[in-house]
Amino acid sequence: MARASIPPAIVVRDLRKRFVVSRDRPESLKSAAVQLFRRRTHHSEAFWALDGVSFEVERGEVLGLIGPNGSGKSTLLGLLSRILRPTGGTVEVCGRVCTLLELGAGFHPELTGIENIYLNGVILGLSRSEVSERIESIVAFAELGDFIESPVRTYSSGMVTRLGFAVAVHVEPDILLIDEVLAVGDERFTRKCYAKMNEFRADPRRTLILVSHDLEAVGALCTRVMWLERGRIVELGEASDVLEHYLAKHGDGGGEHQAGAQ
Amino acid sequence: MANGAVRAAQAMAYYSRRSMSMREHIRELWAARELLRALVRRDLRVRYRGSYFGFAISILVPIVQVAVLTVVFKRMTRFSSIENYSAHLFCGTLPWSFIYLTSVESCNCILKNRDIVKKVYFPREVLPLSVMLGNLIHLGFTMLLFLLYLFVVVRPPVLWTLVWLPVIFFFFAALALGLSFLFSVANTLLRDVEYLLSFAFTLGFFVTPILYPAGVVKQNLAEPYFTIYMLNPVAVAIEQTRFAILGAGDFPPPTSAQLAAGAATCVLALAAGYAVFRRLQWRLPELV
């Protein structure tokens, strides 16, 4: 065992996640009461969303996750960010993890832009004083002018997007997880976001994991790519190699038509 | 752990199926205190400032409620003999509103925050906890206004039993938190719990000594039934509040057996609610 001075950012060993989809799980007290008097039938199906996945991610790496719908990409992100509990196996994470939220998630429409920056920053794992340190920079990045003092319900969707991204990129986590939320807002803002991403990428302490169906973006941003299919790793390696093999199998459609609903 | 030193230098997290120890869990909750504060702040801000009259309304609602009840019940029933009936009512309606609002708001606290529950990890306890704390602060606030009014305008004798109020509300808050834990997951699993709950609370309003003192029940109910009646921890809390503030009733806080029973019920409710919550919390992101 090489005892490196810097441990990997993420170590995943034999990670498994099983979901049980129960078709007749009662969704209300009423139906639960009705079911009590009926003969029990079990219409639950279990499937392995992840079935024995092992890998390591070094610090400073940008890892792309690709694969058709239902291949387990989002499940893997959920497990890395700790939202889901593994059915088996382990995840070791070194550093602060932050997920880029769907934009506007966690905002309260009645609160002002400033108040929402504090709220969202704390939700994403900053302390209040850390938000205070960054507040000027966040406000400048969001480019909302005087609207920053108005309730978010008065914002246009583009403004909400800008504010959400501004908070997320200022959290400066050690490990940033992104699930298909790029390419939002107008072109100028998108470019600004990519610039911020590149800045993040250039920092050797920071690790980025990106789930995307946009293979071009994956190719442009990632150093390594993991190809998942039916909960298993098909290939993990240099971005260009994996993308080439993936395209050879799935064509340009990126697997949209080959949805995972078996 | 050969490389323990290296690991300790980093913020390490290691997780698998095994559940967290109580100590890890408490440490984690402590680390989430800023989030808790932010959520409570959000809820109170929205409550007090949501509309121009937000603040006025949240104060006026309990006052109007008591005013109406006073007029109706003082005129029409024999409770008119009770001295200072409105003060009796406030001692009942304020704690009742607290437990009612906490329970009902808890039902949707996870669904309402589904965006962040699905995407960000934080100890989920923070959500029901923030609902309870927000309402507790509101209760403290309205209680303070009520006491101010009572002792400045009505001027009954000030009793030393007032010092028991914090103790009474401590246990009462534990009960509310237990219910909050329970209903937050229950309504996420079974979405109609909310409706059943409002119905249960409507009934509960009449079988809890809010409009009438428990003493009236005592006179009219044979003994085993009265003890059962007083097993309701909300009834105990209300009667004790009355005793602490007004010196009225048969339930002096420190001595009565009901106090011990009431406190025990509250703690038990908290333990049970929390046990249910911890068991089901992992399924929440899948369910919302």
Low-confidence ranges of chain A (pLDDT < 70): 1-5, 39-42, 101-103, 181-185, 252-262
Tell me if B285 and A87 make a contact (CB, 8 A cut-off): no
Is B130 contained in some domain?
yes
Of A3-7, B54-58, B100-104, the range with the highest mean pLDDT is B100-104
Percent of chain A with pLDDT over 70: 88
Give the residue from A11, A77, A122, A150 with the most B CB atoms within 10 Å of its CB, the best one to mutate: A122
Is B7 contained in some domain?
no
Is B232 contained in some domain?
yes
What is the arithmetic mean of pLDDT over B108-126?
A: 90
> HEC string of chain B?
CCCHHHHHHCCEEEECCCCCCHHHHHHHHHHCHHHHHHHHHHHHHHHHHCCCCHHHHHHHHHHHHHHHHHHHHHHHCHHHHCCCHHHHHHHHHHHHHHHHHHHHHHHCHHHHCHHHHHHCCCCCCHHHHHHHHHHHHHHHHHHHHHHHHHHHHHCCCCCHHHHHHHHHHHHHHHHHHHHHHHHHHHHHHCCCHHHHHHHHHHHHHHHCCCCCCHHHHHHHCCHHHHHHHCCCHHHHHHHHHHHHHHCCCCCCCCCCHHHHHHHHHHHHHHHHHHHHHHHHHHHHHHHC
Give me the residue from A95, A105, A110 closest to B119, CB to CB.
A105
> Is the model more confident about A13 or about B282?
A13
CB B52 within 8 Å of CB B59: no
CB A222 within 8 Å of CB A243: no
- B contact residues 214-273, partner A, Cβ 8 Å cutoff: none
pLDDT at A246: 93
CB A72 within 8 Å of CB A94: no
Is B13 contained in some domain?
no
pLDDT at B109: 94
Q: How far apart are CA A230 and CA A251, in angstroms?
A: 18
Searching chain A, which residue's CA lies closest to the CA of residue B190? A28
Q: Which helix (H) or strand (E) segment is A10 a member of?
A: strand A10-22
Helix (H, G, I), strand (E, B) or coil at A120: helix
Burial of A56-92, coded b for 16+ CB within 10 Å and e otherwise, reads ebbbbbbbbbbbbebbbbbbbbbbbbbbbbbbbbbbb
Is B9 contained in some domain?
no
Q: How far apart are CA B100 and CA B175, in angstroms?
A: 12
CB A222 within 8 Å of CB A216: no
Domain count, chain B: 1
pLDDT at A216: 85
- The alpha-carbon gap from B248 to the nearest alpha carbon of chain A, in Å, equals 41
> Is the model more confident about B87 or about B262?
B87
Q: How far apart are CA B280 and CA B288, in angstroms?
A: 13
pLDDT at A183: 54
Tell me if A111 and B46 make a contact (CB, 8 A cut-off): yes
Percent of chain B with pLDDT over 90: 41
Residue boundaries of the structural domains of chain A = 113-173
Give me the residue from B14, B34, B121 closest to A92, CB to CB.
B14
Q: Which helix (H) or strand (E) segment is A89 a member of?
A: strand A88-94
pLDDT digits (tens, 9 = 90+) for B131-154: 999 999 999 999 999 999 898 888
Residue A92: its chain B contacts at CB < 8 A? 12-14
Is B185 contained in some domain?
yes
Give me the residue from A91, A95, A99 closest to B10, CB to CB.
A95
Mean pLDDT over the full length of chain B: 85
CB B7 within 8 Å of CB B1: yes
CB B7 within 8 Å of CB A7: yes
Range of the domain at B80: 21-287
Is B42 contained in some domain?
yes
**Residues making up chain B, counted from first to last:** 288
Is B12 contained in some domain?
no
**Bridge partner residues of A98 (DSSP):** A176
What is the arithmetic mean of pLDDT over B181-185?
A: 96
- The alpha-carbon gap from A237 to the nearest alpha carbon of chain B, in Å, equals 25
pLDDT digits (tens, 9 = 90+) for B63-79: 888 888 888 887 777 66
pLDDT at A124: 87
- What residues have CB less than 8 Å from B81, skipping those under 6 apart? none
Searching chain B, which residue's CA lies closest to the CA of residue A174? B11
- DSSP 8-state class, residue A100: P
pLDDT digits (tens, 9 = 90+) for B6-48: 333 345 666 666 667 778 888 888 888 999 999 999 888 888 7
pLDDT digits (tens, 9 = 90+) for B226-247: 888 888 899 989 998 998 999 8
* Burial class of A234 by CB neighbour count within 10 A (0 to 12, 13 to 18, 19+): middle
- A contact residues 150-179, partner B, Cβ 8 Å cutoff: 174
Tell me if B120 and A119 make a contact (CB, 8 A cut-off): no
Give the residue from A112, A119, A180 with the most B CB atoms within 10 Å of its CB, the best one to mutate: A119
